Amino acid sequence: MELQEQQARAIVHEINTVLPQKINLMNKEGIIIASTDPERVQSFHGGAARIIQDNLDELRIHRYDEYPGARPGTNFMLQVEGEPIGVLGITGVYETILPLANVIRKMTELLVHEQEYQKAQSHLEYQQQLFLRELLEHSETFLSKEQVERASLLNIDLSIPRRIVVADFVESPEPHRVTDIASQLKIEAQRLDAACCVLTNNQMIVFLTGMRSEPQLYAFADKLLKYAQAHGVDLCFGMDSPAVDNTKLRQAFEQARKALCSCHRKGTVHIKGYDEINMEIFADLIPLAAKREYIKKIFHGYSTMELADAIHTLECFFEHDGSITKTAAALYIHKNTLQQHLKKIALRTGYDPRSLRSSAVFYVVLYFYQDIHLTGFCKA
């Protein structure tokens, strides 16, 4: 452990605002790292070097020529848990500055303790993230006795069967905002489920929860959604299908990811489970080029704008189960106008959207069209 320059500067600044004494803080090499006299920063202080070398509690200096770079005053060893971390130098009458020195010593000890704690926490969180990433990638072969013990050391209990919930932003925020929201959601998730582990994967946030039932999982996702919305962020959630044990977590993660993609495609749904999806199960196997070719084949001769208009009409039409009245109202057009649009699509494509036989063709088109335009969301 050692006193950091940022901490030293903060201490000197705070003291200098209320007390007139000249103060120096030196590191274990005797270099002044913070001072009320900026010109002395980064210079060598021979008195501080002697305190560290001889393990002295304090050293009074009476003349300018006693130690290189040192001036009259008293210098005190700074220690944390018995380990030297630096030296404090103060000018003034010894009896007057001694209480001040004790205060600075205690302040420094607390700051360094906090720094070490934060470093330990950051290291722990990094190791936890690394472990969870490996677990999701290799769950079938990963859960050996050694890995279970490693997880225990990282405060991850693998004796609890887990389910996977993944969340993603509806609109991409700034990178620092992603980090902040992910941290807040982790705290909220662990409030709801103390055993929950959280992994951040780019913009995707992965929750490994001990909750098992569908109602519990939906309630969990819904509370996280409301929490995020209350903080000005909109999310989509995907959930896995129940698995037997933690050896299926890689498969569960893929299931939750596909359910998440379905939420993005739908646009009006924020939470979806794997058991609710259909085409998403195999659609990732179809190359984007093949999807584009299929759309081009059905809507041959359409311009980009004409295709977008037709897709919008069809999405609304199928969203309202083929109801002319409801679709026209949603599109803010007359029923006869909608009928003309649908007839035009039937004439140009050869497939009538109002026909049960052709509805499957357009359903596939709509899915592929959404998939092409949402590829970025679904490839995290």
Q: What is the pLDDT of residues 256-306, one digit of tens each?
A: 998 998 887 766 789 999 988 876 667 767 888 899 999 999 999 999 999
Percent with pLDDT over 70 in the chain? 97
Query: What is the reported pLDDT for 375?
Result: 55
Query: What is the reported pLDDT for 280?
Result: 67
The answer to whether 22 and 90 have CB atoms below 8 angstroms apart is: yes
CB atoms within 10 A of CB 165: 28
Query: What is the reported pLDDT for 374?
Result: 61
CB atoms within 10 A of CB 139: 20
Query: What is the reported pLDDT for 18?
Result: 72
- Rounded to 5 degrees, what angle do the CA atoms 320, 325, 327 make? 40
Please check the confidence at residue 201 and state whether its pLDDT lies above 50. Answer: yes
Query: What is the reported pLDDT for 299?
Result: 95
Instruction: Name the DSSP letter for residue 64.
Output: T
Closest to 367 measured CA to CA, from 252, 233, 265: 265
Q: List phi, psi (to 5°) of 173.
A: -85, 180
- Please name the residue ranges forming H helices in the chain: 5-16, 46-54, 94-142, 145-153, 175-192, 214-230, 249-266, 280-283, 288-298, 304-319, 324-331, 335-349, 356-373, 375-378
Strand partners, 205: 167, 200
Cα separation of 237 and 176, whole Å?
A: 21
Please check the confidence at residue 377 and state whether its pLDDT lies above 60. Answer: no
Percent with pLDDT over 90 in the chain? 59
Query: What is the reported pLDDT for 281?
Result: 66
330: CB partners within 8 A, 6+ apart? 316, 319, 320
Q: List phi, psi (to 5°) of 238.
A: -125, 140
Q: What is the mean pLDDT of the chain?
A: 89
Query: What is the reported pLDDT for 285?
Result: 73
pLDDT band of 105, cuts 50, 70, 90: confident
Query: What is the reported pLDDT for 11?
Result: 82
The answer to whether 163 and 243 have CB atoms below 8 angstroms apart is: yes
Average pLDDT over residues 359-367: 88
255: CB partners within 8 A, 6+ apart? 164, 238, 240, 241, 274
State whether residue 33 is helix, strand or coil: strand
Query: What is the reported pLDDT for 194?
Result: 93
State whether residue 350 is helix, strand or coil: coil
Cα separation of 255 and 274, whole Å?
A: 6
Query: What is the reported pLDDT for 373?
Result: 73
Query: What is the reported pLDDT for 96?
Result: 84
Query: What is the reported pLDDT for 52?
Result: 94
Query: What is the reported pLDDT for 379?
Result: 45
Amino acid present at 232? G
Average pLDDT over residues 148-165: 93
Amino acid present at 163? R
Query: What is the reported pLDDT for 376?
Result: 46
Please check the confidence at residue 1 and state whether its pLDDT lies above 80. Answer: no
pLDDT band of 95, cuts 50, 70, 90: confident
Residue 187: half-sphere exposure toward Cβ, Cα within 13 Å: 7
Cα separation of 258 and 278, whole Å?
A: 10
More confident residue, 81 or 307: 307
pLDDT band of 156, cuts 50, 70, 90: very high
State whether residue 320 is helix, strand or coil: coil
